[in-house]
């Protein structure tokens, strides 16, 4: 099991190296990049926006239920804004994309693999990484920050609506606390996490697609593995990123 895991990490590392060489020395197909931006970014907006909005609303409600007993209702605004930017916005957006976009990448490339279209690219002198993987990575790096911004913004707006609506918190106090404890470092953390998660999704999903075998059954297995491995990688890496980035950009009272 350990040997297989290390072998898998080695294969993904090799793919990352090939992508880096492709981006530096290869031809960037901007037309394909824009097509993938539409697929990854534009078509993912509904699920990301709905998920972000209701995550912020639920977090605000649960926070207010607890803070109300302590007469600290306005603190919920700061909690939700920081949580949506530092943790929930990037993580939930990445998990949604792993399920929607990552699975599609693995299925599409896996189908090309089992039908020998990938071999056909090589026979025509086109490197599969240049043609299939690099455009998707660039598109993900473009789309991910925008999607995270939408998710976090809608989550924060939904929390404002919940706090100042059903819970009757004074909007001025709510916005004051939110502004006091939220700054550019929170946005920067969201962007850093989003870019790392985006790289993980593309590399893991494309690797699974490139390794697909055994026809339709193999494509289905690769698609499932892409979703599961991407989600696990996001959750594990998020933990270590949180520890590292919180040292660089302290949260809460420690930075005031």
Cα–Cα separations (whole angstroms), residue 149 to 38, 48, 93, 152: 17, 10, 10, 5
Cβ atoms of 205 and 183 within 8 Å: the answer is no
Across residues 95-122, what is the average pLDDT?
Answer: 90
Q: Is 174 in contact with 164 (CB distance < 8 Å)? A: yes
Which tens digit of pLDDT belongs to each residue from 180-202?
A: 888 889 999 999 999 999 999 99
pLDDT tens for each residue of 7-23: 888 888 898 998 898 88
pLDDT at 57: 94
Which band of pLDDT confidence, cut at 50, 70 and 90, is reported for residue 252? low
Q: What is the pLDDT of residues 87-104, one digit of tens each?
A: 999 999 999 999 999 999
| pTM, to two decimals | 0.91
| Of 233, 96, 76, 188, nearest in space to 151 by CA | 96
Q: Calculate what percentage of the chain has a pLDDT beyond 70.
A: 98
The CA distance from 140 to 42, in Å, is: 11
Q: pLDDT value at position 147?
A: 95
Q: How many CB atoms are located within 10 Å of the residue 167 CB? A: 17
Q: Which of 238, 225, 236 is nearest to 105 (CA)?
A: 225
Report the chain's mean pLDDT, rounded to a whole number: 89
| Contact call for residues 189 and 81 (beta carbons, < 8 A) | no
Give the DSSP letter of residue 251: -
pLDDT at 254 over 50: no
**pLDDT value at residue 70:** 81
Please give the average per-residue pLDDT across 65-86, as a whole number.
86
Residues 130 and 126: their CA atoms lie apart, in Å, by 7
pLDDT per residue as tens digits for the range 128-153:
888 899 999 999 999 999 999 999 99
Would you state the structure tokens that stand for residue 61, as one six-digit string? 């409600």
Q: Is the pLDDT of residue 167 over 90?
A: no
Average pLDDT over residues 79-84: 91
Domain boundaries along the sequence of the chain: 29-255
- pLDDT score, position 28: 85
Write the pLDDT tens digit of every residue in 21-48. 888 887 888 899 999 999 999 999 999 9
């Amino acid at each position: 099991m350990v040997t297989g895991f290390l072998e898998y990490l080695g294969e993904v590392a090799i793919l990352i190296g090939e992508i880096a060489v492709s981006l530096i020395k290869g031809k960037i197909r901007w037309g394909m990049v824009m097509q993938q931006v539409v697929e990854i970014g534009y078509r993912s907006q509904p699920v990301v926006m709905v998920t972000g909005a209701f995550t912020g609303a639920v977090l605000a409600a649960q926070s207010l239920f607890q803070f109300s007993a302590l007469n600290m209702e306005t603190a919920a605004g700061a909690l939700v804004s920081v949580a949506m930017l530092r943790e929930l916005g990037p993580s939930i957006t990445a998990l949604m994309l792993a399920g929607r976009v990552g699975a599609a990448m693995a299925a599409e490339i896996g189908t090309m693999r089992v039908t020998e279209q990938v071999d056909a690219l090589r026979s025509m002198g086109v490197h599969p990484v240049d043609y299939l993987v690099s455009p998707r990575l660039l598109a993900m790096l473009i789309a991910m920050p925008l999607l995270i911004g939408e998710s976090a913004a809608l989550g924060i707006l939904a929390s404002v609506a919940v706090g100042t609506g059903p819970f009757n918190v004074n909007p001025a106090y709510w916005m004051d606390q939110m502004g006091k404890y939220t700054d550019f470092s929170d946005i920067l953390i969201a962007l850093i996490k989003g870019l790392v998660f985006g790289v993980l999704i593309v590399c893991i999903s494309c690797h699974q697609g490139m390794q697909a075998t055994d026809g339709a059954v193999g494509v289905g297995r690769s698609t499932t593995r892409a979703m599961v491995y991407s989600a696990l990688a996001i959750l594990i890496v998020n933990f270590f990123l949180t520890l590292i980035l919180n040292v660089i950009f302290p949260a809460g009272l420690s930075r005031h």
